[in-house]
Amino acid sequence: MRKKITIPDVLQMKPAGRRITVLTSYDFPFTRLIDGGGIDIILVGDSAGVVFAGHDTTLPVTMDEMLYHVKAVRRADPRALVVADMPFMSCQTGIEDACRNCGRMIKEGGAEAVKIEGGSNMAHIIRAVSSIDIPVMAHIGLTPQSVHRMGGYKVQGRKEQAERIREDALAVQNAGAFAVVLEGIPAKLAAEISAELTIPTIGIGAGPACDGQVLVIHDILGLCEKYSPKFVKRYTDLAPLISGAVKQYVDEVRSGDFPTEEHSFS
Ligand code: KIV
C-alpha cells in the first residue's frame, strides 16, 4: 500500500543514512510524473516565477500565485511531502503576517510544510511559525530573494563569509526548522554544516555531502533555455522533443495530413 511521506519520515532519513530527494513542481501533470518517480519531497518553489511565469527573479511572485500552484500540486495527491515556498514579503513584515500567510499555505493550499528564505535574520519568524505546528524548511546561503543585497546570484560563504553561514545554519535549527536548504555555498562548508546539524541539509549547488539534494524540475528536463547553472545536471533534453512535435503538428495541419478519418467521428 502507498505510504504518504510525513515529517517524521523525513527526520529519520538522516540518522538512517538515507539521502533525501527533492524536486520542484508547480502543476498537476508534472506532480503526477515526479511523484511516480519516487521522490521524497515536492517543493512548490517560488522559482515558478522564473521557469513558469517568465520573470527574471522570484521577487514579483505573490501569495495568490503560490497558492494557485500549491493547490494544483495537491490535486495530484502525491505520496511525497508537499512543501510550499513562501514568496518575497509574505514573511518578512513580521510574525503575525508570517503566521497568517504560512497558515494559508497549509489551510487553503493543502501543503504539509513551508519553506522560508533567510538565516539568523529570520530565526524569530521560523520560531513563531514552527511553534504553531507549521513545519518549516529553512533556506540559507544563496537565497534568491536576496538577489539585490548579494548583487546577483553569487556563491555565498567563501572565506570570511563562511562563519555567517554557519551561524545561520545553527540559528534556523535552534529556531525549530525541520530541515534546511543550503544553496550556492562551497562544498566543504556544506559538508561541515551537514555534519554539525542534527536536522537534514538539502543541497543545491552545495556539493555531495548534504543529507539530500533539490533541483528545479525544468532544469533537469532541459526546459529552461535561459541559463543552466554549473550545479544543474540535465537528465534529459525535452525542449527539442517538444519543439519537434509542435513543428510536425503545424506541418501536418497545413498539409492536410491531420486530421484523418482515424481522428474523425462518423
Ligand atoms: O524556489 C525554488 O525552487 C527553490 C529551490 C531551488 C531550493 O527555492
pLDDT at 228: 79
CB of 117 within 6 A of ligand 1: the answer is no
List Cβ neighbours of 26 (8 Å cut-off, separation of 6 or more): 44, 45, 48, 51, 52, 69, 72, 73
Determine whether 183 is an active site residue: yes
pLDDT at 226: 72
Confidence check: pLDDT of 191 > 90? yes
Mean pLDDT of 19-41: 98
Q: What's the whole-number average pLDDT of the chain?
A: 97
CB of 45 within 6 A of ligand 1: the answer is yes
CB of 181 within 6 A of ligand 1: the answer is yes
pLDDT at 224: 84
- Domains identified in the chain and CATH numbers: 7-235 (3.20.20.60), 238-266 (no CATH)
In tens, the pLDDT along 148-177 reads: 999 999 999 999 999 999 999 999 999 999
Question: If we measure between CA atoms, which residue out of 67, 16, 13, 66 comes closest to residue 40?
Answer: 13
CA distance 40 to 25: 13
List Cβ neighbours of 29 (8 Å cut-off, separation of 6 or more): 76
Atom number, ligand 1, closest to the C-alpha of residue 43: 3
Mean pLDDT of 83-99: 98
pLDDT at 47: 98
Tell me the CA distances in angstroms from 223 to 57, 73, 147, 216, 234, one per residue in order: 17, 19, 23, 10, 9
Q: What is the pTM of this model?
A: 0.97
In tens, the pLDDT along 214-242 reads: 999 999 999 987 777 899 999 999 999 99
pLDDT at 1: 60
Question: If we measure between CA atoms, which residue out of 54, 52, 56, 55 comes closest to residue 70?
Answer: 52
Ligand 1 centroid vs 139 CA: distance in angstroms?
A: 9
Atom number, ligand 1, closest to the C-alpha of residue 47: 1
Q: Among 183, 196, 225, 261, which one carries the catalytic annotation? A: 183
Confidence check: pLDDT of 131 > 90? yes
Phi first, then psi, for residue 224 (nearest 5°) are -110, 105
